Amino acid sequence: MNRSFCIAPMMRRTDRHFRYMCSLLTKETILFTEMVHANAINRNEPAKFLDNSKISNSTVLQLGGSDPLELGKAVLEANEHNFSEINLNLGCPSSKVQSGNFGAVLMKDVNLVKECLSEMICNSKKEISVKIRLGVDNFDVENDLTFFMKELINVGIKTFYVHARIAILQGLDPKENRTIPPLNYQRVLRLKKEFHDSNIIINGGIHNFEKAREEFKSLDGIMIGRAAYDSPYKLVNIDQMYFKSNKHAVSLIKVIERMFSYINDLNVNEQSKAKFHMLNLFKGLIDAKKSRILLLNGSNNEEIKNELLSIIHFNENQVA
């Protein structure tokens, strides 16, 4: 799997509707689901959390949890759906996640992590990967991180998505943990030299896609989070930029038409979620505010679509 460009798992963002929209913009980008707790899959209707049927891109299911048996059971369910890889979240710093003993706090218990991963590997038809931080709290980002990764490699992990900063579990909220402490890209670059047989994908604070391609060319890929969600139409150039595709970028008009064809097959509640993910498609255009009002408040999908297409046509005429 070519992981040159990946879109990070983001709660309440990378649901199946946003992933579908991304699949219209880029065919090669690796997409991640939101983090799904293993118990949510095992105690409910699995398809509610695992539906990825309309998305052609390689997709990674990210699981949360710390019970090896529950994670193994969730992986068995995931085998029946079209995911290319299954990822264990070892990087989320939120207090709610900590209280459930999963996410970044698990980096403090490497033996439990190994038990979880071993069970997942035994049950999975697909590769199991991890998303980690450089450490947590007083973690030594040199020695402790090296030890942690060696232990995971020993149980069969080959792919690491690395958020390039430590997680501070006490005193900082998740938003602050996206900016504090400073990013340490150099440590991630050294990880690749240290573990050259592993796949190392860097995450954290990347906004300039073209610059990142050069800056991190020694790694196996980059992972983009909010920069992709906040300006999704920038993804139209990714296949050419990162995957050497010779196909023409899809027009915004085509994206809107295909999104509404998709939306019309959803129930009313799901339609609202899908339209919400479209808000940032119009960022930077004249009448972008009008597009947001239409998507948030409009009730007739055909009228909304036609108004949005008119906004695009108007902007194109202004450029011409």
**Catalytic residue IDs:** 92
Sign of CA dihedral 88, 35, 84, 235: negative
Q: Is the peptide bond before 68 cis (omega within 30 degrees of 0)?
A: no
Distance in angstroms (rounded) separating the CA atoms of residues 219 and 62: 21
E strands present in the chain: 5-7, 30-37, 59-64, 85-90, 127-133, 159-163, 199-203, 221-224
Q: Which residue has the tokens 């040159």?
A: 4
What is the Cα–Cα distance from 90 to 261, expressed in whole angstroms? 37
Cβ-contact 69, 33 below 8 angstroms: no
Q: In the numeric block, which tokens belong to residue 311?
A: 């906004």
Residues with Cβ < 8 Å from 150, sequence gap 6 or more?
Answer: none
* Backbone region of residue 316 per phi and psi (left: phi > 0; alpha: psi in -120 to 50; beta: other values): alpha
Of how many residues is the chain composed?
320
137-160: string of b/e by CB count within 10 Å (b at 16+)?
Answer: eebebeebbeebbeebeeeebebb
Amino acid in the structure at residue 267 = N
Q: Are 31 and 60 in contact (CB under 8 A)?
A: yes
Q: At what angle do helices 288-297 and 268-276 cross, to 10 degrees?
A: 160
| 3-state SS, residue 34 | strand
